Amino acid sequence: MTESITYAAAGVDTEAGDKAVELMKDAVRATHGPQVLGGVGGFAGLFDASALVGYRRPLLATSTDGVGTKVAIAQAMDVHDTIGFDLVGMVVDDIVVVGAKPLFMTDYIACGRVVPERIADVVRGIAAACSVAGTALVGGETAEHPGLLGPDEYDVAGAATGVVEADGLLGPERVRVGDVLVALGSSGLHSNGYSLVRRVVEVAGWSLDRDVPELGRTLGAELLEPTRVYASDCLALVERAGGAVHAFSHVTGGGLAANVARVLPAGLVADVPRGSWTLPPVFSLVQAAGGVPWTDLERTLNLGVGMVAIVDAAGADAVQRHAAELGLTAWHLGEVRALDPERDTDALGPDLVAGTKGVQGGAVRLSGTYRTA
């Protein structure tokens, strides 16, 4: 061997990693309140949990997730400051489903090569979304994986912890016959189903800079639209509704029916007419461009519904009004009823969905056809 092999020669640039931290640390600090101790750069993030002393029976909630292959769109467009909203939305909005307030979050970025400006853009987006969610970003890690990922490839993941008072826990135990489903509109595709969407785009031969009249912008801009972060708004709805909110369902992988079924108790069915809302154009576009069966589309994408609140019928109008005050599009999506042995004994299929994600709870019956713009 005629020359020494260094870590840098192996493809890892520690100085670039240090520069990335310098570029991102102000954005991270901006999410810190007095509960965060130690600042940026420690081995562990510290969060003062003394506020939990005021809880009668605090329950900790935790969630972890990534953003899937949507990162391929960000990389193709060389736009990296919005993918953080997708990450935060996927993580903290799973926590708020049980009524928990997300307290703090950590992130993990794996990349083929550390480009400080690019990594800083990703983290700035995460920090901005944490601010929207009222969540502290207390730590993270960037790992350089040359040879495993391409020089311009990266993936992101994160985890968060929240807290809810035990007697304020939301979920199937609170849902009753006669409850109403209130839909909260999505900002677009959010972060699920991008393997399908990307395949449709590839087969159609469309470029990301293609202007799409139905969308009013380029295809790439639509596909990169950040996920709406609902956490603060959902907590506000719970507070304003005075006990009317019984459960939330975060509509992510698996689609609307599968995720709503997860928060219904056994023996109850939610009836959802497909025509109770108009699909945003991007969903019809994906369906038409790829000839995607509607049943497959609704098992994969959110179809314009990002979150569902299941509420007492008497409070449904107020919840919709409060949602509008918070800037959310909301509408009456369906109702909860008791399972009918005669009506609901047909085999599970595209119109009757239950038993997803390993949860043997209630079911959702879809009916009719979708309205398209």
Each residue's pLDDT tens digit, 18-32? 777 787 777 778 778
Each residue's pLDDT tens digit, 186-221? 999 999 999 999 999 999 999 999 999 999 999 999
Residue 237 has pLDDT above 60, yes or no: yes
Each residue's pLDDT tens digit, 286-302? 999 999 999 999 999 99
Confidence of residue 148 (pLDDT cuts 50, 70, 90): very high
The stretch 150-170 carries a mean pLDDT of 96
Listed residue (110, 294, 89, 330) closest to 191, CA to CA: 89
The stretch 251-261 carries a mean pLDDT of 95
Bridge partners, 250 (sequence order): 307
Would you kindly state where each structural domain of the chain is located, as residue ranges? 11-168, 172-372
CATH topology of domain 172-372: Phosphoribosyl-aminoimidazole Synthetase; Chain A, domain 2 (3.90.650)
pLDDT higher at 343 or 146? 146
pLDDT value at residue 12: 67
Residue 309 has pLDDT above 70, yes or no: yes
Confidence of residue 34 (pLDDT cuts 50, 70, 90): confident
Residue 14 has pLDDT above 90, yes or no: no
pLDDT value at residue 349: 65
Task: Tell me the C-alpha distance between 284 and 358, whole Å.
Answer: 30
Q: Cα separations (Å) of 131 from 20, 158, 197, 229, 340?
A: 20, 15, 29, 10, 45
Q: Cα separations (Å) of 196 from 201, 251, 258, 296?
A: 9, 17, 18, 10
pLDDT higher at 6 or 262? 262
Listed residue (42, 41, 44) closest to 25, CA to CA: 41
Task: Tell me the C-alpha distance between 370 and 336, whole Å.
Answer: 20
pLDDT value at residue 36: 81
Q: Cα separations (Å) of 105 from 68, 85, 97, 301?
A: 18, 13, 16, 26
Q: Are 31 and 39 in contact (CB under 8 A)?
A: no
pLDDT higher at 54 or 332? 332
Mean pLDDT over each residue of the chain, to the nearest integer: 91
Q: Tell me yes or no: is domain 11-168 CATH 3.30.1330.10.
A: yes
The stretch 85-106 carries a mean pLDDT of 97
Q: Which tokens is 35 given?
A: 């509960």
Strands 36-37 and 46-47: antiparallel
Each residue's pLDDT tens digit, 344-372? 766 566 788 887 767 678 999 999 999 98
Q: Give the rounded percent of residues in the chain with a pLDDT score beyond 70.
A: 94
pLDDT value at residue 345: 65
Each residue's pLDDT tens digit, 220-233? 999 999 999 999 99
Task: Tell me the C-alpha distance between 333 and 207, whole Å.
Answer: 35
Q: Which tokens is 163 given?
A: 């807290």
Q: Which tokens is 105 given?
A: 């979050």
